[in-house]
Amino acid sequence: MSIHHYISDFLSSGPAGDLMPTDDLKCSSLDGCLNSNLASDSVVELTPGQRVIKHMRAARLTSSEPFSLADGCGRGCLFEFVRWQGQDRLIAKLISILKPEALPHLTLCQGLTRADHLDTIIRQATELGIWRIVVFVSSRTTAKLHPGKENTKLRRWQRVARAAAEQCGRLTVPYIEPVLSLDAALALTNAMRPRLCAWEEAWEEACEGENSKALDLGSALRRGIERCNPASVPPSMGPSEVTSLSPDLSDATSSDATSFDSTSSDASLFIGPEGGFSPVEVEQLRTAGCQIFSLGARILRVDTAAAVASALALYEMGALGTHPDLGTHVDRQASDHGR
């Protein structure tokens, strides 16, 4: 039996931490649980919003059944269901405050694609642990964004991200920026390091010779951290593996190394639309400090490329391997409460 996980009825209106309630959200005591020193086993009244209530009723929660409720900003609580209180409220017992999400802040900058592809990309990016999603228009964008429909699209993408966060147990719903141009996306991520870009033609560049500018993702990540030494490599990579990924890093010294904090670093990853980036755009990305890398000899669908590149980048940054949100903490709590 799995624990039901819900995101309180909030929609992102800014970077994580700046949220705006939807019209149907009444005063919820979730904030009270998070901001006060309530003891475990405290009984609280929750009003998480009509959407969550509908899903909870469909799940037919029973007395003493555990569930978790998050605010979408990385905070949440584990509760034990007690009873319904009217049509839009419930009584629950607080079990514990969940540990905040501890993930690298990786922003996925994704070229505008067909609606079904973009829904898939947003869902998978949320499940993997992407922090923010920036959708941009470039020269090879074929998908149409009709004037006046931008907010409708944005709300849909937010719903997709929230549903994915609930499904995978994330406490954080990635913030999705309004659609930008490639220039604006580069300006928005200007301070982020490293900046990475997957390009399908990088494989051909890599096969041209030893002096190719193309790198594999691991090497691109390290090159983007400005020739880090073994002590500053992300925890997923041991010092012995640095040279094999990028031979020119072996002579890095501590004086030119940049430390890598996997919980606070802001990095960005650029993926093109169907058709990829044009050579002119690749040079623009390179000039802006992006490390161009290859995902191999095969041409991947755009939604596949986004998922693979995001997963590899997060793995290299030490974000995969342990559950960042609910993890064994909730599993243990659930077993203690009749799971």
**CATH (domain of 49):** 2.40.240.20
Neighbour count for residue 135 (Cβ, 10 Å): 26
pLDDT in tens, the chain (339 residues): 579 999 987 443 333 333 333 333 333 458 777 777 778 888 998 988 899 999 999 999 999 999 999 999 999 999 999 999 998 899 999 999 998 877 789 999 999 999 899 999 999 999 999 999 999 999 999 998 888 888 999 999 999 999 999 999 999 999 999 999 999 999 999 999 899 999 988 777 666 654 455 566 666 666 655 433 334 444 443 332 322 222 232 233 222 323 334 444 689 999 999 999 999 999 999 999 999 998 888 889 999 999 999 999 998 888 886 544 444 333 334 334 433
Task: Let me know whether 150 and 230 are in one domain.
Answer: yes
In the chain, at which residue ranges do the beta strands (DSSP E only) sit?
4-7, 10-12, 19-21, 43-46, 66-70, 76-84, 90-97, 105-111, 132-137, 175-176, 180-181, 195-198, 215-216, 266-271, 290-294
Please give the Cα distance from 165 to 61 (Å, whole number).
Answer: 20
| Local structure of 115: helix, strand or coil | helix
Task: Let me know whether 33 and 145 are in one domain.
Answer: no
Task: Let me know whether 150 and 36 are in one domain.
Answer: no
Instruction: Give the domain range for residue 35.
Output: 4-100+325-336
Task: Let me know whether 54 and 121 are in one domain.
Answer: no
Number of domains in the chain: 2
Task: Let me know whether 141 and 289 are in one domain.
Answer: yes
Query: Which are the contacts of 61, defined by CB distance < 8 A and separation ≥ 6?
Result: 4, 67, 81
Task: Let me know whether 63 and 155 are in one domain.
Answer: no
- The distance in angstroms from the start CA to the end CA of the chain is 7
- How many CA atoms, within 13 angstroms, populate the side-chain half-sphere of residue 39? 1
- How many CA atoms, within 13 angstroms, populate the side-chain half-sphere of residue 130? 30
Q: DSSP code of 293?
A: E
Task: Let me know whether 186 and 43 are in one domain.
Answer: no
Token pair recorded at residue 8: 């309180």
Looking up tokens 């041409």, which residue turns up? 299
Task: Let me know whether 312 and 247 are in one domain.
Answer: yes
**CATH (domain of 237):** 3.40.1280.10
Predicted model pTM? 0.77
Task: Let me know whether 142 and 243 are in one domain.
Answer: yes
